[in-house]
């Protein structure tokens, strides 16, 4: 796997640290008072403070469910997906797309869920029933 790097906008450093480190369990990397890096399931996220963040646009429709575009997230093994789901639910985080199985019984069957971080950035977590089917369908 080649890790990706993604830079995105957040409202502030403290609530971002609380969500990604405190809630998701990410490891914090370098930071200043204007940006912070995280190890996001093996990938590098760079959160930068900005007061100019775009509004959500639910223009995506996947398997009949409206999803926010853009969004980012992570593909997880089933046990890790369940661990993240439980952490989010136990913390009282609202799911903007409830945990569910998409494409049930079909090629590409996957568990998916969407949440917003504390700056309103949409994240999707998913887990494929058969890893080899993630690009098939």
Best CA proximity match to 36, nearest among 72, 11, 56, 69: 11
Query: What class does CATH assign to 60-133?
Result: alpha beta
Residue 1 has a pLDDT of 80
User: What are the structural domain ranges in the chain?
Assistant: 5-49, 60-133
To the question of domain 5-49 being in CATH 2.40.37.20, the answer is: no
How do 43-49 and 35-40 pair as beta strands? Answer: antiparallel
**Cα dihedral sign for 68, 133, 42, 3?**
negative
Residue 137 has a pLDDT of 66
Residue 136 has a pLDDT of 84
Residue 31 has a pLDDT of 96
pLDDT in single tens digits along all 137 residues of the chain: 899 999 999 999 999 999 999 999 999 999 999 999 999 999 999 999 999 998 999 999 998 999 999 999 999 999 999 999 999 999 999 999 999 999 999 999 999 999 999 999 999 999 999 999 998 86
Give CA–CA dist 94/96, Å, rounded. 6
Identical topology for domains 5-49 and 60-133: yes
Cβ-based neighbour number of residue 112 at 10 Å: 22
Q: State pTM to two decimals.
A: 0.93
């Amino acid at each position: 796997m080649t890790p990706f790097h993604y830079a995105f906008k957040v409202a502030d450093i403290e609530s971002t640290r609380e969500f990604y480190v405190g809630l998701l369990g990410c490891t914090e990397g370098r930071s200043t008072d204007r940006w912070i890096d995280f190890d996001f399931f093996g990938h590098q996220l760079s959160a930068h403070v900005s007061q100019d963040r775009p509004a959500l646009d639910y223009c995506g429709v996947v398997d009949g469910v409206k999803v926010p575009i853009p969004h980012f997230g992570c593909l997880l093994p089933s046990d890790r997906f369940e661990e993240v789901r439980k952490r989010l639910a136990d913390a009282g985080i609202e799911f903007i797309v409830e945990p569910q199985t998409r494409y049930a019984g079909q090629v590409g069957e996957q568990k998916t869920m969407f949440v917003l971080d504390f700056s309103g950035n949409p994240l999707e977590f998913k887990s494929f029933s058969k890893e080899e089917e993630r690009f098939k369908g």
